[in-house]
Every structure is written in C-alpha cells, then in structure tokens.
A = this chain, B = another copy of it.
C-alpha cells in the first residue's frame, strides 16, 4: 500500500493515475513494457511515481483513443501534437450559429458563475423547447466542453460543474411534464456495468417524455442479468441502453445478443450512444441509435408498427 498522490507535490502512484486517466494499472504497466511510455520514476520501495506532465499526456492519449484512434499511433507523440490532433477533429464541427452560445457557456464555466450558467441553460430550454434543446444545443455543447478541457481551457472541476448543472436543468424540465403512468410505450432506460456516463439516459428521457412515453430509468450500471429481469418485471415495450464512445465494443455486443436471446421478441432493444457508431454490421433484432435524433425516428417507427396486446 503506497502513499496517495500528495496534492502539493503532484506525484501520482499507479492507482492515482488509473483514477485520473481511466487507464487500468495493467495497461499502464504494459505500455511501459512495450512502448517505453510512460516511464515513471520509482520511490524508495520500487513503486512507480508518475509526474503531472506524464499524466497530462496519458489523459490526452486516452481522450483520443476514446475518439477511435489506436494507442500505437499516438503514444509516442508529445503533448502539443496530441492537442493539435484533437483540435483537428474538433474543427469538423458545424454550425457557427450555435458556437457563440457554446463560447458563452464556456466563459461562464471559466468564471465559475454557477447561477448564471444554470440560468443560461434554463433559458435556452424555454426558448427552444426541451426536445430541440437536447438535439441541437446539448450535443455540440458537450463536444465543445470536452474539447475545451482537452485544450486546457477548462479544468476538471469546471467540467464537473457543467455536467451537474446540465443534469439539474434536464431533470427540472422533464419533471415539468405530467407523468405518463399509462403512456405507451413503456421504455426501460439503463446502462451496462462499467459504463459511468448516465447523462445520456437523461437526454433520452428528455426526448421521450414530451412524446407521452412512460420512461422508467434504473440509472447507470445495471448488471446484465438484472436488466433482463427488470425488462420482464416492468413489462417494458422497449429496453433502451446507452453506451459511451469508450465502451468496449465486444462486451456491448455480447451483452446485447444475450439479452435479445433471452427477452421475448415483442420487447424491442435500442442501443444508443457514441459507441454504436463503431458498429459496422447491423445487429439482428436490435435498433441502433447512433445519434439522438434517431431516437425520435425510432419511436415513430415503433408506434407505427405496434399492435396492442392485452396485458402488455
């Protein structure tokens, strides 16, 4: 058991780096063996000590990996080039109109003005309506915040504040709709274990509630077996699962296939989130939702084909 990274000295042990970067201890040791990076110093007991620059580089690498790049291609690059790479990908984004709003939000984050931030978000919800807000504003805003963090313009705690305030605003807006206890379809929302990001669920809920859908969210990280049980117990018409871009493709596909096999065919399974864009083939018996707008399409399609059955 080694000392935690003391805040003042900015030295990280391997556990701290795992926390900070999301790269497992095994991976960190393996990279050191294979690529010679990172190459941390050792403390008197022979344990790895990572410096802040190494951690920053690892963070940048992880972020690019989550965007689809392979480690071997980028692990040798210095921090500048990693940032440049990230910028290049970021510039693919559209819509100069929304960008002024993005800049405003980021400015509010940088000045730590929580009330103004919440006000700005809430006001935009009012102006655009909940669905349009989620579809047209939140997605690019998430991207912009992530990029700003990557470029060092936002600190971690500022990103946390953004996520938290966004959740508050979405939750409030969702609550403003009357609860559809008899709505159809009943949609069960959750994520697989190891999937930390629950904000996607909230965004989907925000899209579906105005459509009169009866949403039941289990929050993130439900074990697969329990997802199955929950879908049956709640007599869900649709099981909606969210996957962030970082989620291992194979784990997702295996879990989904196993659920498809075990659930009755009248239960639709929707798989959404950034990960689904990495899926090449179509998956039998499953609806892929690569972007949020497709949620609405999928709902309309479901409703067009649905045949009411007694008791389900």
A residues in contact (CB < 8 Å) with B: 1, 3-8, 10, 19-20, 112, 114-115, 118, 155-158, 160-161, 163-164, 167-168, 171-172, 175, 179, 181, 190, 193-194, 216-219, 222-230, 233-234, 250-251, 254-255, 258-259, 261-262
Contacts and interface: CB of A to CB of B under 8 A. Distances in A.
A226 B155 contact: yes
A226 B262 contact: no
Contact of A8 (B218, B227, B234, B261): B261
Nearest to A232: B112
Contact of A7 (B4, B20, B163, B258): B258
Nearest to A224: B7
Contact of A155 (B115, B157, B229): B229
Contacts of A168: 171, 175
B233 A3 contact: no
Contacts of A7: 224-225, 228, 255, 258-259, 262
Nearest to A161: B218
A259 B229 CA distance: 44
Contacts of A218: 157, 160-161, 164
Task: Please list the 5 inter-chain residue pairs (A to B) with the smallest Cβ-Cβ separation, ordered nearest first.
Answer: A157-B230, A157-B226, A115-B181, A160-B218, A7-B258
Contacts of A4: 224, 250-251, 254-255
Contacts of A118: 179
A254 B4 CA distance: 7
B20 A216 contact: no
Contact of A223 (B6, B19, B164, B219): B19
B224 A157 contact: no
Contacts of A226: 155-157, 160
Contacts of A216: 114, 161
Nearest to A115: B181
A8 B258 contact: yes
Given A19-B194, A217-B164, A228-B7, A157 B255 contact: no
Nearest to A181: B115
A254 B181 contact: no
Contact of A157 (B5, B227, B258): B227
28 contacts: A4-B224, A4-B250, A4-B255, A5-B224, A7-B224, A7-B228, A7-B262, A8-B258, A19-B223, A20-B193, A112-B234, A118-B179, A156-B222, A156-B223, A156-B226, A157-B190, A157-B222, A157-B226, A157-B227, A158-B230, A160-B218, A161-B216, A161-B218, A163-B219, A167-B219, A168-B171, A168-B175, A171-B171
